[in-house]
Amino acid sequence: MSQIVTRFPPSPTGFLHLGGARTAVFNWLYARHTGGRFVLRFEDTDTERSSPRYVAAILDALTWLGIDWDEGPYYQSQRLEVYRQHLQRLLEAGRAYYCTCSPERLEAMRREAMARGDKPKYDGTCRHLGLGPGPGAAVRFKAPLSGATVLRDVVKGTIAFDNAEFDDFVICRSEGTPTYNFAVVVDDITMGVNTIIRGDDHVMNTPKQIQLYEALGAPLPVFAHVPMVLGRDRARLSKRHGAASVTEYRDQGFLPDAVVNYLVRLGWSCGDQEFFTRAELIERFSLEHLGRSAGVFDPEKLLALNAEHLRAKPPAELIALLRPFFRELGIELEAGPRTEKIVAGLAPRSKTLADLARQARFYFQEDFAYEEEAARAHLKEEALPVLTAVAARLATLEDFQESALEEAFRAVMAETGLKLGKIAQPVRVALSGRAASPGIFEIIAILGKEATLRRLERAIGFIRRGGKAPPVTGAGDRKMRKGLDAEGCGG
């Protein structure tokens, strides 16, 4: 075979969901793996349901996933002349004919066949009448009446279809628009597509398409029909299983590499490996390892894989991805060593970008609220001597590196006779508002001397007022939102 050419042909009648995204990913990966070409086209001849809004949404989703295309996007609605030319070829070759049977005649034909216990299909009334074009005339393909049409599929194996089971199907409607099976074959022939990876819900369309390829004198592409993605109940994946449009996962804070990784593993394997970088997927993807059993969508597995990708990504690369989530919190995130350190400390504790942003909020906003349970457990009367001793000790420090901070806390331990945990927990809540956070020395080093002392004094005041917070002024917020690089990280 010459250069591999794959394609992704969504219908812009809705948003891009996981099943369609997986099809796009498989075709894109195979093109990239083989050094081939990946074609994008929109099957938008359904004018009532197709919308530019969905075109834009699909393009947005593909771009977020990192799926680029070498040709297109093409639009079927702009290719009607191409379909007319190929339709004329079939008519002139005697492989298609005009049909003027009315909808009422076709419905009566269907009912009569069902009454006889036969399969409802067209009876060939117009097959030999030699009709020409005219009002209400559709064009039907003159299908073979005997023999078999054979599909040799990379995933499904060889499937033979009895031609007697098929009828002369419509390839051009009476108003002049091509039907799906005809348009897709013409598109794939004229675009040079020679490898088609798609869901196995298209298997029953394939014999009709094979017959059209043969009638048009074109070589057959390689077909690979992959099993559909199912929910945990083994039913076809839908919103009730937690499946959302691709851009919803983006908005929830998933990484595109994680979503691509997960989609590929829903139907392709490479040993027992679950985590793949994008480069590894491009290097290893092949048709031979496409699965024959349906992949089951598990939101928890996707979340776990996303957390793994979050941990693996360099903090500097995460900053740009995090900005929209910080912006939702009213924070303009700036790049720099301190921000990278914050991200590095929280990435192992986070499952999504949104989760990481929420956890990092305390670094940027001083007037945060204390978690009720954490304050009740740790910001109480007996914590006053601890917080006061820590504040006094830190006030004398010039070096705010973690090693110096550890030494200061050891001195407080010796002074109070308390273990580190009894000291660190009230300090942690004072600095972050939470009982769980990155390491206490890491937090202090990042916040710096001034911010740390302000927060300790705030917590001391909170305890002395009997657990009542002072009015939120926002002044601290404004200072911190301008960027942490003004202070902190060792003073």
Q: In the chain, what percentage of residues exceed pLDDT 70?
A: 94
pLDDT level of residue 467 (50, 70, 90 thresholds): confident
Q: Looking at 119, 142, 208, 239, which residue is catalytic?
A: 239
Supply angle C-alpha 191, 48, 131, rounded to 5.
70
Number of other residues whose CB lies within 10 A of the CB of residue 270: 16
Beta partners for 71? 39
Alpha-carbon gap, residue 29 to 35, rounded angstroms: 10
**Which residues are within 8 A (CB) of 476 and not within 5 positions of it... i.e. 6 or more apart?**
365, 366, 367, 454
DSSP 282-311: HHH--GGGB-SS-EE--HHHHHHHHHHHHH
Chain mean pLDDT for the chain: 92
Q: In the chain, what percentage of residues exceed pLDDT 90?
A: 83
pLDDT level of residue 363 (50, 70, 90 thresholds): very high
> In the prediction, which pLDDT does 204 show?
95
Whether 488 has a pLDDT exceeding 50, the answer reads no
Mean pLDDT (whole number) for 90-110: 95
**Stronger pLDDT, 45 or 146, i.e. the higher one:** 146
> In the prediction, which pLDDT does 240 show?
65
Mean pLDDT (whole number) for 212-238: 90
User: What is the edge-to-edge ordering of all strands in the sheet holding 71-75?
Assistant: 5-8, 37-42, 71-75
Pairing assessment for the beta strands 295-296 and 229-230 based on DSSP bridges: parallel
Q: What's the chain's Rg over C-alpha atoms?
A: 32
Mean pLDDT (whole number) for 386-398: 95
Alpha-carbon gap, residue 364 to 441, rounded angstroms: 17
Whether 480 has a pLDDT exceeding 50, the answer reads no
> In the prediction, which pLDDT does 431 show?
97
Tokens of residue 377, six digits: 């457990």
> In the prediction, which pLDDT does 115 show?
87
Give yes or no for a contact between 223 and 154, defined as CB atoms under 8 angstroms apart.
Answer: yes
The 10s digit of each residue's pLDDT in 337-353 is 999 999 999 999 999 99
**Which residues are within 8 A (CB) of 111 and not within 5 positions of it... i.e. 6 or more apart?**
120
Alpha-carbon gap, residue 24 to 358, rounded angstroms: 32
**What phi and psi, each to the nearest 5 degrees, are found at residue 411?**
-65, -40
> In the prediction, which pLDDT does 235 show?
79
**What phi and psi, each to the nearest 5 degrees, are found at residue 70?**
-90, -25
Number of other residues whose CB lies within 10 A of the CB of residue 387: 23
239 is catalytic: yes
Mean pLDDT (whole number) for 429-435: 95
In the chain, the domains with their CATH numbers are: 80-226 (3.40.50.620), 239-313 (1.10.1160.10), 317-361 (1.10.8), 372-486 (1.10.10.350)
